[in-house]
Amino acid sequence: MRLINVKTHKLEEFLDDRAPPYAILSHTWAEDYEELSFRDVEDGNTDKPGIGSVKFRECCRQAAEDDLGYAWVDTCCIDKANLVELSEAINSMFRWYQRASICYAFLSDVPGDENPSKKGSKFQRSRWFQRGWTLQELLAPRKMRFYGTAPDDAPDWQLLGTKASLRKIIASITGIAHEYLWGIAGLDQASIAQRMSWAANRDTKRKEDIAYCLLGIFDITMPMIYGEGGEQAFFRLQEQIMKKRRDDSILAWGLQNNGRSDDESTVNGYSATTAGRILAKAPAEFAGSGHIVHREHSLTFTSSVDMSGGIIQAYMPLLWNPTGLVGLLSCGPEDNDDQVVGVPLISIPTAGLVEYARPQGYKPSLHSAVAYKSTSKMIRIRHESHESAVPDLSGIYFHYDDDEFAALNLRIAEVAPPSCWDKERALIILTNRDDKGDLNQVLIRIGLAEEPRDFVVILGSKEQKPDNKAGCRILICSRDTQLAELATAFPSMTRRLNGKTRARNGHLSLRVILEPFARQPIFVMRPESVPDETFTTVDATGEMERRRDSMVLGSLRILDEYEAFESEAKKLNEWESHLSQKDRDIRAQLDEISSELRALEEKQKQLVQRQEENSVTQSNVAYRRSRVEQKQSGASSQWLKTQKRWNALRQVNYRFDELESTARITWAAINGLVEVVEQCLDKGASVDAPDQHGCTPLRAASEGGHLKVVELLIRRGADVDAKDKDLGWTALKWAAANGHQDVVELLQVAKRSVDETHS
């Protein structure tokens, strides 16, 4: 690609993947003589008169201000005289705008000092939003600024805003959703119909460019063939899209802006239709499809739309409705998941496979996806680029030869439904179908002027034969009988009418022959007077009167039965009322019993809980009693030993002054003499030294319950964990064994303090 050096204003060439950061310009072209061309820049003629040189200089100046060394402008960076280069550039254009560091959009018809969001602003009417090429220039860049013209024809641009800041007003102008303007959602997340709708109100100078300007938006590459015409170029584009994307919203063109089809010509079927295009001829035909999204699983679609040799092959369900045949597409309104788009179809006579076409002038419509559970089938749809009239094989035509009927003094008086009678062409058109796709029937009243009873010819296709697709039955009715009334009562006469191909009204015995015309679904109605043979004529008026009489008698019988039923119903109602009251009483009693049961269950639950708690308490008490008995036994044994020692000690006659220091402090502790213990300690006696029997002062004081002595010894550093030689007991255990609770608590506090210090 070629880039403009913003300092030298010279063109430099780079490989696509090695291009340096650059700014890119988006604008609408002025007259060719005003724009700078590739040759102008090559020759250094960048200051020639016209808006082109202004855009060139301002783009370079702004790029330099944004610390970018290069810029790209489409008018002068492509050698348009080289068709190969032009084709490559057009196919690369979207990518070049996408890779640009920033895009400057210059709107030459918008003043730079106006508010773009203001109602009726020139920004909203700018030519920039109406050109085909600027669509991809809006969508491709991530960063984009909009500039308007400066007042008083000053050369400098004036900033209008960024794509992000003007997002709301741009969305309302273009119909493009915010997520695509933000660049959050990829363009491939929008359906084909949606992307086409964005270009619906845009135009290009060369007709083919309306297709070429969309290449990047659909990620398509294809050769440029200027001269092929816009319709053919757009057809080639759609063909390439179908090869790459599974999205049959490409067929959802022609919808009204409200998503409905209000074409009056669709009311009575596709009569006298012309086979048209299945593909659109321009983006403008997608103007009403901006809300149509692709559905992956809306119906039983199993394949993509494929095109080959002018024939589209697609899997889709087919549906018969009052307007004719409809093919259901796998797409629908984004705000209603229960609807899908249906395209009108007609069958085309071929020597081989059944083919279809979209009838010219008929629009798609929306259908309930829930209501129609048809199975998809592979169909072939012909793309008629040159519309040609084809017979409508979805119905049957009957030609009424007025001269032949007049020869028997007969004339056509009424047709029901009236829409089937084309008086100008003397054709009775049987195209309406019921919900099953079967052709309905047409009733024709034919009468003699002097005879009060008319013939009624019933045309339809219910009794099809291999060599005759239409059936004809005849009956008579009173002139006062309305065909609409007869049509309502007709189903009850179906059995009697089977095989009734002739009828007599008193003056004439008539038969109508249906004569096929060529190989088309057209039949000529030929009246024939038949001999007065014995045959049964169905009189519809009489049948209806008998039916009414039967209905009256039946109604009277029903009325009598109703009165009997009413009396019986009254008795049953009374009995039902009695049973209901009884049921309510029983329910009340059941509710009362249930309430009592719930109370008893709650009480039972509480008692069980108390029993469990009592059992636990008993276990704890038994355990504690066992422990106490064990301690009591041990204490008794120890008490005997201690008593013996005391007795032995009392038998010793000595003077206190003659005792050694260890014996003195132990003796003082045994006797609870706090002052003596303190004096011994002050004179150097060991606080933990045992006497000749292994008894420490702390043990002696604890065993005797002397709290003050124990406090003194602990304060002076006595070892609370020291054990004696006899039983291996600590002072705490001796105090507990002798029931000195205050000493026990003091020793426990001291032990915890020691343990915390060690930890």
CATH number for the domain including 689? Answer: 1.25.40.20
Mean pLDDT on 23-28: 96
Distance CA 474, CA 471 (A): 10
Alpha helix (H) residue ranges in 262-374: none
Predicted local distance difference test score (pLDDT) of residue 590: 92
Asked whether residue 95 is domain-assigned, the answer is yes
Q: Which residues, at least 6 apart from 728, have a Cβ–Cβ distance to it below 8 Å?
A: none
Claim to verify: residue 353 and residue 417 sit in the same structural domain: no
Predicted local distance difference test score (pLDDT) of residue 350: 66
Predicted local distance difference test score (pLDDT) of residue 58: 94
Claim to verify: residue 522 and residue 553 sit in the same structural domain: no
Q: Which of 168, 185, 202 is the last residue of a domain?
A: 185
Q: Which residues, at least 6 apart from 661, have a Cβ–Cβ distance to it below 8 Å?
A: 680, 683, 684, 685, 686
Phi and psi based region of residue 709 (left: phi greater than 0; alpha: psi -120 to 50; beta: remaining): alpha
Calculate the dihedral angle through the C-alpha atoms of 71, 75, 79, 84, rounding to the nearest 10 degrees.
Answer: 100
Claim to verify: residue 550 and residue 506 sit in the same structural domain: no
pLDDT of 300 above 80: no
Distance CA 702, CA 724 (A): 13
Distance CA 262, CA 278 (A): 19
Claim to verify: residue 673 and residue 746 sit in the same structural domain: yes
SS3 content of the chain, % helix, strand, coil (to 5): 40, 20, 40
Distance CA 458, CA 475 (A): 8
Claim to verify: residue 687 and residue 748 sit in the same structural domain: yes
Q: Which residues, at least 6 apart from 40, have a Cβ–Cβ distance to it below 8 Å?
A: 46, 48, 76
Note whether 192 and 241 are within 8 A (CB): yes
Mean pLDDT, rounded, of the chain: 84
- Of 420, 418, 413, 421, nearest to 478 (Cα)? 413
Please report the DSSP string for 392-457 in residue order: -TTSEEEEE-HHHHHTTT-EEEEEESGGGEETTTTEEEE--B-TTS-B--EEEEEE-TT-SEEEEE
Q: Which of 553, 588, 614 is the last residue of a domain?
A: 614
- Of 304, 34, 321, 92, nearest to 192 (Cα)? 304
Asked whether residue 195 is domain-assigned, the answer is no
pLDDT of 108 above 50: yes
Asked whether residue 158 is domain-assigned, the answer is yes
Distance CA 77, CA 85 (A): 11
pLDDT band for 298, please (50, 70, 90 cuts).
very low
Asked whether residue 653 is domain-assigned, the answer is no
Claim to verify: residue 432 and residue 356 sit in the same structural domain: no
pTM of the model: 0.55
Percent of the chain residues past pLDDT 90, beyond the cut: 40
Mean pLDDT on 298-309: 57
What's the gap between Cα 492 and its chain centre? 48
- Of 459, 684, 445, 619, nearest to 541 (Cα)? 445
- Of 142, 136, 147, nearest to 176 (Cα)? 136
Distance CA 600, CA 597 (A): 5
Predicted local distance difference test score (pLDDT) of residue 261: 44
Give the CA angle between residues 103, 109, 110 to the nearest 5°. 75
Predicted local distance difference test score (pLDDT) of residue 260: 42
Instruction: Supply the Cα-derived Rg of the chain in whole angstroms.
Output: 54
Segment 41-74, tens digit of pLDDT: 999 999 888 889 999 999 999 999 999 999 999 9
For residue 351 the two structure tokens come to 């020597």
Of these ranges, 169-173, 353-357, 520-524, 647-651, the one predicted with the greatest mean pLDDT is 169-173
Claim to verify: residue 502 and residue 566 sit in the same structural domain: no
Specify which residues 146 forms β-bridges with: 105, 161
Specify which residues 148 forms β-bridges with: 158
Claim to verify: residue 567 and residue 713 sit in the same structural domain: no
- Of 203, 193, 239, 196, nearest to 220 (Cα)? 239
Claim to verify: residue 533 and residue 545 sit in the same structural domain: no
Mean pLDDT on 113-127: 93
Output phi, psi for 706, to 5 deg: -90, 90
Asked whether residue 335 is domain-assigned, the answer is yes
Q: Which residues, at least 6 apart from 355, have a Cβ–Cβ distance to it below 8 Å?
A: 311, 347, 348, 380, 381, 382
State yes or no: cis peptide before 116, omega within 30 of 0: no
pLDDT of 114 above 50: yes
Output phi, psi for 723, to 5 deg: -115, 150
Predicted local distance difference test score (pLDDT) of residue 504: 85
Q: Measured in Å, how far apart are the chain's first and last C-alpha atoms?
A: 78
Segment 272-286, tens digit of pLDDT: 467 788 899 999 999
Q: Residue 570's domain spans which residues?
A: 541-614
Calculate the dihedral angle through the C-alpha atoms of 751, 752, 756, 759, rounding to the nearest 10 degrees.
Answer: 70
Output phi, psi for 281, to 5 deg: -100, -5
pLDDT of 737 above 90: no
Overall domain count for the chain: 5
Distance CA 517, CA 499 (A): 23
Of these ranges, 21-25, 240-244, 402-406, 591-595, the one predicted with the greatest mean pLDDT is 21-25
Question: Exposure string (b/e) for 482-504, b if CB count within 10 Å is 16 or more?
Answer: ebeebbeebeebeeebeebbbbb
Q: Which of 519, 538, 557 is the last residue of a domain?
A: 538
Asked whether residue 317 is domain-assigned, the answer is yes
Predicted local distance difference test score (pLDDT) of residue 437: 47
Note whether 319 and 368 are within 8 A (CB): no
pLDDT band for 268, please (50, 70, 90 cuts).
very low
Claim to verify: residue 533 and residue 549 sit in the same structural domain: no
Claim to verify: residue 12 and residue 160 sit in the same structural domain: yes
Asked whether residue 216 is domain-assigned, the answer is no
Asked whether residue 87 is domain-assigned, the answer is yes
Question: Burial, 538: exposed, middle or buried (Cβ in 10 Å; 0-12, 13-18, 19+)?
Answer: middle
Predicted local distance difference test score (pLDDT) of residue 373: 60
Residue type, 207: K
Please report the DSSP string for 153-199 in residue order: G-SSEEEEEETTTTHHHHHHHH---HHHHHT-S-GGGS-HHHHHHHT
- Of 726, 669, 723, nearest to 700 (Cα)? 669
Mean pLDDT check: name the lowest of 211-220, 417-426, 457-466: 457-466
Mean pLDDT on 632-637: 72
Predicted local distance difference test score (pLDDT) of residue 263: 41
Claim to verify: residue 427 and residue 532 sit in the same structural domain: yes
Mean pLDDT check: name the lowest of 212-221, 372-381, 407-416: 372-381
Distance CA 626, CA 637 (A): 17
